[in-house]
Amino acid sequence: MSGFHLDNHLPAGYLAEALRADVQEGLTSTPKTLPPKWFYDEVGGQLFEEITRLAEYYPTRAEREILAARSAEIAERTRAAVLVELGAGSAEKTRLLLTALRRSGTLARYVPVDVNAAAVTEAAQALGAEYPDLPVHGVVADFETQLGLLPAGHPRLTAFLGGTIGNLEPRARGRFLAEARGGMQPGDWLLLGTDLVKSPDVLVPAYDDSAGVTARFNRNVLHVINRELKADFDPDTFEHVAVWDPDNEWVEMRLRSTVDQQVRVEELDLTVNFGAGEEMRTEVSSKFRRERVEAELTRAGFALREWWTDSGARFALSLAEAH
């Protein structure tokens, strides 16, 4: 593909070793946990795309509404020469930013970053057809630990959309934002998507839809472990659970064992017991208030310059400047 360059910073076997470590730690913890990043194999990615189209799941629509209304303003304010997108996936919403930055005449390069090399390449190919003269520098990296390896360019706009930052607990969020700032120059920009605190009557159904798509998405992580680590989870013996934690202001997704059972993970030489009713946490999705977002950005070395919400005040985009 003309104008496409790919850097792969993940050592051979990196993802396999990370999965082994996460499963070993999570299944031997009390309570048991699994990190949400392992949802997204091919099937999990397709299920998530289906989730984003569900009536109950508002964040994707709400964020797109803000981007549609504010992308031209973002382009004018940042004058970005480089657009970096963390966790790029299909880069669908990014088209709004790309179009605005191209119209402003400043954009020289797009840098999609993801742990999935195929996702980066596919996104670049699709964008290459729409923006044939736009250089795309794909980066395969773990954005939680390898932000310092991103290509240089200034002024840079780094987009972290979809509310994905909510999957990081506060301490990990602080480390991530500090590392993001460490890779920037003063005058670079961060565009951050955050889901907002609201009634549990709205929040919980977004993670427990009536069609059961999110339940299939949640249980899919057990299929991933079965396939990759030769485990013998029976996903049909686990119920999907979504609960609002008002103290931490996050939604938790869990898998609840419906029976007393024993699971063998052959690749780890690990046997795990689950009691009937025992729950394993598979995701936290933090919800935010403006004051918390601003405080966390400030601690990391950013100044909040703009705060936009959708018409229903369900979701926010923050534009913050590195100083």
**Do 74 and 99 meet the contact criterion of CB atoms below 8 Å apart?**
no
DSSP annotation string for 272-313: EEE-TT-EEEEEEEE-B-HHHHHHHHHHHTEEEEEEEE-TTS
Query: Per-domain residue ranges for the chain?
Result: 30-55+204-286, 57-198+289-322
Report pTM: 0.95
Say if residues 272 and 286 touch (Cβ distance below 8 Å). no
Q: What pLDDT does 89 receive?
A: 61
CA distance 100 to 110: 13
Separation in Å, CA 182 to CA 44, 143, 185, 188: 32, 13, 8, 11
The yes/no answer on whether domain 57-198+289-322 falls in CATH 3.40.710.10 is no
- Computed from CA positions of residues 212, 58, 36, 281, in that sequence, does the dihedral angle turn out positive or negative? negative
Report mean pLDDT in 10-residue bins for the chain, 323 residues: 83 94 98 95 93 96 96 97 84 86 95 88 83 91 86 92 95 95 95 98 98 98 98 98 98 98 98 98 98 98 98 98 96
Residue 306: is it exposed, middle or buried by C-beta count within 10 angstroms (0-12/13-18/19+)?
middle
Say if CB 276 and CB 238 are below 8 A apart.
Answer: no
